[in-house]
Structure formats: C-alpha cells, structure tokens
C-alpha cells in the first residue's frame, strides 16, 4: 500500500486480556519499528526489525510484550495479560533501508485502552 | 546516552506571525535530526531532516530548521504561522549508522496553538 497501515485503529481490552496489534509496512521496506506513545508524551522505542530479524528489543517494557515479523513484512506486537499502564497509542514505522537518511514513515497507530 | 530536549511544552502564536520551536540535543557526535508533526488522530508526518549535509534544512509547509553544532540546537522556524499549523511537534534524533542504537529518540513534544 501507499502508507504504513495499522489495525485495529482502536482496541479496548479488559485487564488481564491478551491483545495483538498488527502493522503492515510499506511494501519493500526493510526496517520496521514499534513505538509506544503514552498520553501527552513523545513516542518511546519498543523494538526494531531488519527484515525478519529482531535486532533490538531493548525498549520492550516487560516480558509480557512480544513482537514478531516472521516473513519480513507484516509485524505483530502482542501484549499478554494487559495492565492499565499498557494503555497508550502503539505506533509502527517503516524505512526503506537500515539507513537514517531515508527517514521513517509512521502509521496512524493503534490506541489501546485497558479497563 | 543521547537525548532530545524540547524547551517549550506549549507555544502560542497569532496567525501570520513567526513560529519558533526550540530543540536541543545531547550527543558526543553529530546525529541525524528530524522534526515531525502530529495532528490529532493522525500519524506522525516528517517535516524535515538533517543528515550532515547543509546546516539549514528546508522542509514542507514553509518550515525550516538550522543545525548549530556549537549550540547543540536544531530549532524549527516558520516565517508566518497558519491556522493549519496548530499541532504537536516532535524533535527527534538518531545516531549514526554504525552506532548500536537504531531507535529514534523523541523529545516530549511542543504543542503549537495558532489564534486568529
């Protein structure tokens, strides 16, 4: 597609429920990032993929967070046993290469609310 | 560790007046720097980027930013504000390609309000 697509757009989860957030990057983009944006804050890095390889997961806040990109295109961010502090907008970004000069294209995000 | 500081959480201007959004970065090397804009319920949009070429960078919608290494600053400016410029603006940094960190580091954001 023309841009980075994320689904669902909104997700309400009961505390303790597992959720899966999907990111469809721009076709052919090698790099894929996940960010978490809490209300009133700037996005914070969660994890980075180069093709199917997860090269950096240092930003994942706990072992309840898991991300995968098995075929080097679509990525899924999974949160197990959601807690209220997980409520945030989850942003996905992709880039043509592992090269900063190309910049990054962001999706519109998934707004997760844990009740 | 690399960090980005946006000096103002909120800036208010009148339509037609200049805009200045301030950003300082902390780094031991010249980073790549970006400004992104986020309109309500929309994705982050790249305004401009600095990647060690010209220090004065021109972006979309009349915005520009100047990289000043001596001041470790990358302030965003626009000569004349438009109502449609009202949004959240993020100053963003990234290290060089051979650095271990690949993440973008965001400032906390500056909310720009434009009044008529």
Per the CB < 8 Å rule, is A100 touching B32? yes
Percent of chain B with pLDDT over 90: 66
pLDDT at B54 over 70: yes
CA terminus-to-terminus distance, chain B: 41
Facing A109 at nearest CB: one of B43, B96, B97:
B43
CB-based contact, A56 to chain B, within 8 Å: yes
Per the CB < 8 Å rule, is A107 touching B94? no
Across chain B, mean pLDDT equals 88
pLDDT at B95: 57
Arithmetic mean of pLDDT, A87-110 = 83
Q: At A93, phi and psi to the nearest 5?
A: -135, 150
Residue whose tokens read 């996005």 = A43
pLDDT at B100: 39
Taking the C-alpha atoms of residue B32 and residue A96, their distance in angstroms, rounded to an integer, is 16
Which of A33, A42, A55 is most worth mutating to test chain B (most B CB atoms within 10 A of its CB)?
A42
Confidence of residue B68 (pLDDT cuts 50, 70, 90): very high
Q: What is the pLDDT of residues B71-107, one digit of tens each?
A: 999 999 999 999 999 999 999 988 554 443 467 889 9
CB-based contact, A1 to chain B, within 8 Å: no
Query: Pairing between strand A31-37 and A88-95?
Result: antiparallel
Which of A50, A59, A97, A103 is most worth mutating to test chain B (most B CB atoms within 10 A of its CB)?
A103
Average the pLDDT over each of A37-46, B3-12, B24-33, B84-93 and give the range with the smallest value.
B24-33
Tell me the CA distances in angstroms from B16 to B3, B95, B114, one per residue in order.
32, 35, 9
| Higher local confidence (pLDDT), A92 or B32 | A92
CB-based contact, A54 to chain B, within 8 Å: no
Taking the C-alpha atoms of residue A75 and residue A57, their distance in angstroms, rounded to an integer, is 14
Q: Nearest chain B Cα to A57, which residue? A: B103
Q: How many C-beta atoms surround the C-beta of residue A59 within 10 A?
A: 16
Contact residues on chain A for B109, CB-CB shorter than 8 A: 40-42
Average the pLDDT over each of A47-56, A96-105, B10-19, B89-98 and give the range with the smallest value.
A96-105
Average the pLDDT over each of A25-34, A98-107, B23-32, B40-49 and give the range with the smallest value.
A98-107
């Amino acid at each position: 597609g023309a841009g980075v697509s994320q689904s669902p757009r909104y997700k309400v989860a009961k505390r303790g429920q597992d959720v899966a957030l999907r990111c469809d990057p721009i076709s052919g983009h090698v790099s894929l990032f996940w960010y978490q944006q809490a209300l009133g804050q700037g996005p914070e890095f969660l994890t980075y993929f180069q093709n199917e390889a997860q090269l950096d997961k240092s930003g994942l806040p706990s072992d309840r967070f898991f991300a995968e990109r098995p075929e080097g295109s679509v990525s899924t961010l999974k949160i197990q046993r959601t807690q209220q502090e997980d409520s945030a907008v989850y942003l996905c970004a992709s880039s043509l290469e592992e090269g900063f000069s190309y910049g990054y294209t962001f999706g519109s995000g998934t707004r997760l609310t844990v009740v | 560790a690399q960090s980005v500081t946006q000096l103002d959480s909120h800036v208010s201007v009148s339509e037609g007046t200049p805009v200045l959004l301030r950003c300082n970065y902390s780094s031991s090397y010249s980073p790549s720097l970006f400004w992104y804009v986020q309109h309500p319920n929309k994705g982050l949009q790249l305004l401009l980027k600095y990647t060690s070429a010209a220090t004065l960078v021109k972006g979309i919608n009349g915005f520009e930013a100047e990289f000043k290494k001596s001041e470790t600053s990358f302030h965003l400016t626009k000569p004349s504000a438009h109502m449609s410029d009202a949004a959240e603006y993020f100053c963003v940094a990234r290290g060089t390609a051979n650095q271990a960190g690949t993440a973008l580091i965001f400032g906390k954001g500056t909310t720009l309000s434009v009044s008529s």
